[in-house]
Amino acid sequence: MKKYLLIFALLWLNACHKPSYTNLSTPWEPDYKVDRSENAIREFENQDMQQMPAAGGIVLTGSSSFTKWKSAGKDLAPLPIINRGFGGSTFPEVIYYADRTITKYKPKTVVIYCENDMFGSKAKTPEQVRDAYVTLVKLIRDKLPDVQLYGVSLKPSPSRWAKRDDVIKANKLIQDYIKKDRRHGYIDVWPVMLKDGRPDPAIFVSDSLHMNDEGYRRWTKVLKPVLEKTA
């Protein structure tokens, strides 16, 4: 009897931590070509032809905050980092290229950071950003059911501070979704990027959007201990 109760408890626990892929809003269609970063993707493939990363690594996927983190491999060493962020990308583009930039590497861990969706010419709600995140997660899970996922909060940037409420809401919706998945973690970078309640200008380059070396040092302090736990 105890054996059956244990099996039932395990099944119930698994069900409680199985994420739903239900959307919160209406579908959003891009007003740009999702293959506009083809040159960047081909450059990744050229690198792979020279030396294919070993399976079981940690893929960083998403937009330019990863792209510009040129020292990620060194900063996060000895973790096996495969940085496949491409500049200016949005979730529809990351989804479009997922087979070529994420799942092909058979990673043990995938870290997602993508912040541009609400800042294009066509309006996109926090709910639609969350739905796009969920779509990407489903795609990855279908190919890699046991992969460990981490979602990094959309960062606070001086140049985008006017839309901070939408950013905060999108982060909250994504975090709420992540909580339902036992192999999924949320990494909040806001605490180390704020000073007196606003984005710390000392960690950004002149465009007030992208980070300098100090910004990445702070990200390293936040991300590395988390990634080491599941490496």
Task: Report pLDDT digits (tens) over 89-116.
Answer: 999 999 999 999 999 999 999 999 999 9
- The Cα 96–Cα 91 span in angstroms is 8
- Would you say residue 121 lies in a domain? yes
At 21, the pLDDT band (50, 70, 90 cuts) reads: confident
Q: Residues 6 or more apart from 171 whose CB is under 8 A from it?
A: 153, 154, 188, 190
Q: Are the C-beta atoms of residues 188 and 153 closer than 8 Å to each other?
A: yes
- Would you say residue 181 lies in a domain? yes
Q: How far apart are the first and last CA of the chain?
A: 37
Q: Which pLDDT score is estimated for 163?
A: 97
CATH number for the domain harbouring residue 121: 3.40.50.1110
pLDDT tens digits, 37-48: 999 999 999 999
- Would you say residue 11 lies in a domain? no
- Would you say residue 76 lies in a domain? yes
Placement of tokens 């399976």 in the chain: 55
- The Cα 69–Cα 113 span in angstroms is 12
Q: Are the C-beta atoms of residues 117 and 129 closer than 8 Å to each other?
A: yes
pLDDT at residue 154 above 50?
A: yes
At 11, the pLDDT band (50, 70, 90 cuts) reads: very low
- The Cα 101–Cα 122 span in angstroms is 26
Q: Which pLDDT score is estimated for 161?
A: 98
For 186, the domain range is: 53-229
- Would you say residue 5 lies in a domain? no
What's the whole-model pTM score? 0.91
- The Cα 47–Cα 45 span in angstroms is 5
Question: What is the number of structural domains in the chain?
Answer: 1
Strands 194-195 and 198-199: antiparallel
pLDDT tens digits, 181-227: 989 999 999 999 999 999 999 999 999 999 999 999 999 999 999 99
Written as six digits, the tokens of 130 are: 């969350």
Q: Which pLDDT score is estimated for 8?
A: 44
- The Cα 223–Cα 176 span in angstroms is 20
